[in-house]
Amino acid sequence: MILTNGVLVTWEDENRILEGWALRIAGGKITHVEPQKTLIQMFPDEDRLDAQGQLVLPGNICAHTHFYSAYSRGLGIPGDAPSGFVEILEKLWWPLDKALDKKSVRASADVSLIDAIRHGTTTLFDHHASPLYIDGSLDEIYEAVKASGLRVSLSYEVTDRNGKDQAYEGIKENVRFINFVKKNHPLNGRISAAFGLHASLTLSDDTLEKCRSAIPENYGFHIHVAESDADEYDSIKKCGMRTVDRLHKFGILGPKTIIAHAVHVDAREMQILEENDCWVTHQPRSNMNNAVGMSAIESMDRMGIKLCLGNDGFSNTMWDEWKTCYLAHKLWHKDPRRMNGMLVSKMAVYQNRKLVANQFPGIEVGILKPGAQADIILVDYEPFTPLLAGNLPWHILFGLNESMITMTMVDGEILMKNREITCLDEKKVIADARQLAPEVWQRYSAQFKS
């Protein structure tokens, strides 16, 4: 098809905003970006999709999320509110992931994927945990992704907090799924895999060694690092070194490894991350909610660390993550000059798309150009000031919102059109998830009564 009558935002290295241009899609990819009259003359019989003057952008990317967190929405935590990060883990996340079974794992993935489609997030890096349903859990999420049409990286969170047997089960689940992806290249490249680890504070030396030995060649880890200072103090207590130093010692770092958060790393740890060519994802909404602080993003960028933007299981409204990032660092530093909008777009667009290229072999997204995948959104935004390549980040920060997204497409397949989900029965998916919720919450609450 030819996508006509739109205002193209290419997000090339030298970003262009093109009026009077169109793009052609074939075989799941963008084949041409040309002036509209030229393209129609070249392909006069091609089907056309009329953008009706809307913005045409590449789909958004989320570099770190948790589909399983869907059942935390509206959940009441028994007793006093958690007073710190470790209490949040102990009172909310660890009992919740133990409450998940096969049906609720699938349902939590389904509703998260619908949320992503509705809000224009076309590629996501999921980090899964369900300690009482490990074997085959990634297959269940894979089936949800398959039905949704989205592009997703999957991993299972290995941890020692539930004993060695479950840690070993998590290792096996990662290896099994990575080998499946490696062998089958499933869904024409819409699925990728990483080796999930929870965090240093719940991983023993023995388990880290086993994970390093088990990971297939050319794959990397996806792990939380120094989200709170508890991770650092635990590492110092265990082995006399800080978290990043410890992970480096055990061979966890590398050019395929995704480091989530890195809030409490020191200067030497940043240097180690840069030297090992790791990817660091920033999740400001989560950091604010957990009151753990803010990563030294501007310093890391100056050091050459590859910084990306995720949401840590918050809603897949990635422009909300942009806005939080832009505002939170100003408040954190009490300085309105901090966190330039260009740095936010660098993380969310340019670095996120490089992460996809690193983790999905042969796939290029996050850009409108010939050869890139046709992962595209339409946005019904009518600017009342000039919209230019140089000020686009500020239009996103102060003007655009996800309710303006009218169409979501992945690999040239329309997943939402005119704000209607076309790939899934949205009402049924939500109703099914809601029906399961009381059981999940009951299993969650029961853990506090024993």
Strand 258-261 relative to strand 279-282, pairing:
parallel
Using a cut of 0.85, tell me whether the model's pTM lies above it. Answer: yes
* Cβ atoms of 230 and 261 closer than 8 Å: no
Closest to 125 in 3D by CA, of 195, 217, 57: 195
Neighbour tally for 80: CB within 10 Å: 8
Report residue 28's pLDDT band, with 50, 70 and 90 as the boundaries.
very high
Is residue 450's pLDDT more than 70?
no
In what side-by-side order are the strands of the sheet with 306-309?
Answer: 195-199, 221-225, 258-261, 279-282, 306-309
Mean pLDDT of the region 412-439: 97
Per-residue pLDDT of 115-156, as tens digits, reads 999 999 999 999 999 999 999 999 999 999 999 999 999 999
Q: How many residues does the chain have?
A: 450
Sequence-distant (6+) residues with CB within 8 A of 162 are: 98, 131
Pairwise CA distance, residues 363 & 162, whole Å: 37
* Cβ atoms of 243 and 235 closer than 8 Å: yes
Q: Which domains does the chain have, with CATH numbers?
A: 2-59+369-421 (2.30.40.10), 62-359 (3.20.20.140)
Pairwise CA distance, residues 323 & 135, whole Å: 38
Per-residue pLDDT of 316-352, as tens digits, reads 999 999 999 999 999 999 999 999 999 999 999 999 9
Q: What pLDDT is stored for residue 245 in this prediction?
A: 98
Q: Record the tokens describing residue 380, joined without a space.
A: 């019904």
Per-residue pLDDT of 276-285, as tens digits, reads 999 999 999 9
Q: What pLDDT is stored for residue 365 in this prediction?
A: 98
Q: What pLDDT is stored for residue 342 in this prediction?
A: 97
Q: What pLDDT is stored for residue 257 in this prediction?
A: 98
Pairwise CA distance, residues 324 & 344, whole Å: 10
Closest to 223 in 3D by CA, of 192, 200, 242, 193: 200
Neighbour tally for 166: CB within 10 Å: 16
Closest to 141 in 3D by CA, of 176, 170, 115, 104: 104
* Cβ atoms of 278 and 64 closer than 8 Å: no
Neighbour tally for 267: CB within 10 Å: 10
Backbone angles phi, psi at 392, to 5 degrees: -55, -45
Question: Helices 102-118 and 137-148, interaxial angle, to 10°?
Answer: 30
Quickly list H helices, 202-242.
205-214, 229-239
What average pLDDT is seen over the chain? 97
* Cβ atoms of 365 and 410 closer than 8 Å: no
Per-residue pLDDT of 367-396, as tens digits, reads 999 999 999 999 999 999 999 999 999 999
Stated as kind and residue range, the H or E segment containing 259 is strand 258-261
Pairwise CA distance, residues 54 & 179, whole Å: 42
Stated as kind and residue range, the H or E segment containing 225 is strand 221-225
Sequence-distant (6+) residues with CB within 8 A of 90 are: 82
